[in-house]
Amino acid sequence: MITKLKSLLLSLFLFVSVYAGSPDVMLQGFHWTAHSAGWWQVVDGLAAQIDDDGYTMVWLPPSSDAASDQGYLPRELYNYNSFYGSQAQLQALLNNLNNRGIVPIADIVINHRVGCTGWADYCNPTWPTWYTAADDEWNGQKSGNNDTGERYSAARDLDHHLPQLQGEIVTWLNQLKSMGYRGWRYDLVKGFAPWAVKLYNDQTSPEISIGEFFDGDVGKVENWVNSAQNSTAFDFPLRFALIDAFDNNNYGRLRHDGLINRQPGKAVTFLENHDTEEQRGGEYVPPFPRFHLEAGYAYLLTHPGIPCVFWTHAYPFGGFPDVGDTIRELIQIRKEQGIHSTSQVDVQAADGSKYAAIIDGKVAVKVGWGDWSPAGSDWTVASSGQNYAVWTRCSGDDCVQPGGQTTIRVHYDTGFGNSISIRGNRAPLSWSQGVATNWSAGNVWVYQTDAIPAGATFEFKALINDSRWQSGGNNVGRGGETIDIYPNF
């Protein structure tokens, strides 16, 4: 009974100590081809920037030697010379992050393992072949127990019923802790029982645990976190709901879909990861639409849950869209306003053109092309861009923002026509007659407004060939800023 009580208290402490009242933001510290770039040194070199940008946690890729470049077919668990770099480089990175107060999160792949020269000759550490689940494809000597989850054919499924295997995994996790890792991201948790995650967390005490339950069914994801008890989960259902909202004007889903709307303290929210990103070419699911990235992060970074920012969105790579400045601005708002994993959301609108909410009574957000702004004069625009705006409470002179000229830069692909215009609801722009220009392939068209009065905002749209509005509708601007938009014509 005492042991069970200690386990319960440990589980409660895990969540109380990490999540309550803390405006955490996680960075996924890699992408699918990061292994080809001396990655530990890349992240180490950006640690100061990561700290300055406001990230409190960094999820790193699998650290051990593996049969796959990305590390998801683990081979020698205790060999930390991988495709991402040497053990010394990894240790230097972990030291750097910890010295800055950033929590390093290890990618834990324990559903399966490969042999060193064959299918199941496990080495470093050496395990007997009978650690392999009875229903695995391999025909050698196996356990008497079937797999505790979905089968995975690319490697040998492990039998987590075995106390011997449990002890080996706990020993390895504790070595990772001794190196400086402070949290676990469990890979492919559909492949083994959630009670195993609880067992490993109870015996290693990570500061945060996250399960990758890759499924759009919020009921299934919630059932997993309830069974695991002391772990969060990535909010895949919310990701799919956000894409549907932006692509199909189905903003009503944001009222109720996602783990964030059921157990926000256990939801790690995200738009993209290494399995869903553009580099994967839709191998599993389509990537998040580029032209909705800013609005997507406006939702994530103003709402409860623990938001996770994808590397190539924060630190551009290979021509992917640069929304890093917007993300940094939104993280700053989250921290200044104290938005945390269990903040309270008061939904103001969720219809065919927009979603709007007020969080903790001090941050308002609108995503979508429909018109909305918070009532009252004590709100000031804190961030705005393509199909989103964020307001914070203000008082006195803080409610009056500087006026001035606003620059609108329209980034476009070729092949859509030969003219573009900007139209809006404040002079010199109007909805009926905009400012037009000719354009040529490869240009970024720039328009500068007349001075906008202090404290005023305006709405605008991009129009191509005077006939097709930008998909997604309104953008919000204010005096004295520069706005980049990526029309979806």
- Asked whether 19 and 340 are in contact (CB, 8 A), the reply is yes
| Residue range 120-137: mean pLDDT, rounded | 98
Residue 344 pLDDT: 97
Question: What confidence tens digit (pLDDT) does each residue in 252-277 have?
Answer: 999 999 999 999 999 999 999 999 99
AA letter at 106: A
Overall average pLDDT of the 118-147 stretch? 97
Query: What's the CA gap between 31 and 61, in Å, rounded?
Result: 9
Q: What is the pLDDT of residue 396?
A: 77
Question: How would you classify the pairing of strands 444-448 and 407-411?
Answer: antiparallel
Give the DSSP letter of residue 433: S
170-179, 199-208, 237-246, 398-407: least confident range: 398-407
Residue-range domains of the chain with CATH: 2-337 (3.20.20.80), 345-399 (2.60.40.1180), 407-485 (2.60.40.10)
> What percent of the chain is modeled with pLDDT above 70?
89
**What does the CA dihedral 332, 222, 148, 155 come to, rounded to 10 degrees?**
-40
399 contact partners, CB below 8 Å, separation of at least 6: 377, 378, 379, 380, 455
Look at residues 395, 326, 390 and name the one whose alpha carbon lies nearest to residue 358. Answer: 390
pLDDT tens per residue, range 242-255 = 999 999 999 999 99
The 407-411 sheet, strands edge to edge: 444-448, 407-411, 482-485
Structure-model confidence comparison of residues 408 and 192, the more confident one: 192
Strands 363-368 and 388-393: antiparallel
Look at residues 323, 328, 265, 264 and name the one whose alpha carbon lies nearest to residue 301: 328
Minimal CA–CA distance to 390: which of 462, 272, 299? 299
> DSSP letters of 337-389?
HT--TT--EEEEEESSSEEEEEETTTEEEEEESS----SSSSEEEEEEEBTEE
pLDDT in tens, 188-245: 999 999 999 999 999 999 999 999 999 999 999 999 999 999 999 999 999 999 999 9
Identify the pLDDT of residue 120: 97
Catalytic residues: 187, 212
Percent of the chain's residues with pLDDT above 90: 70
Token digits for 322? Answer: 């640069």
Q: Is 123 exposed, middle or buried (0-12, 13-18, 19+ CB in 10 A)?
A: middle
> 60-69, 181-190, 331-340, 430-439: which range is least confident on average?
430-439
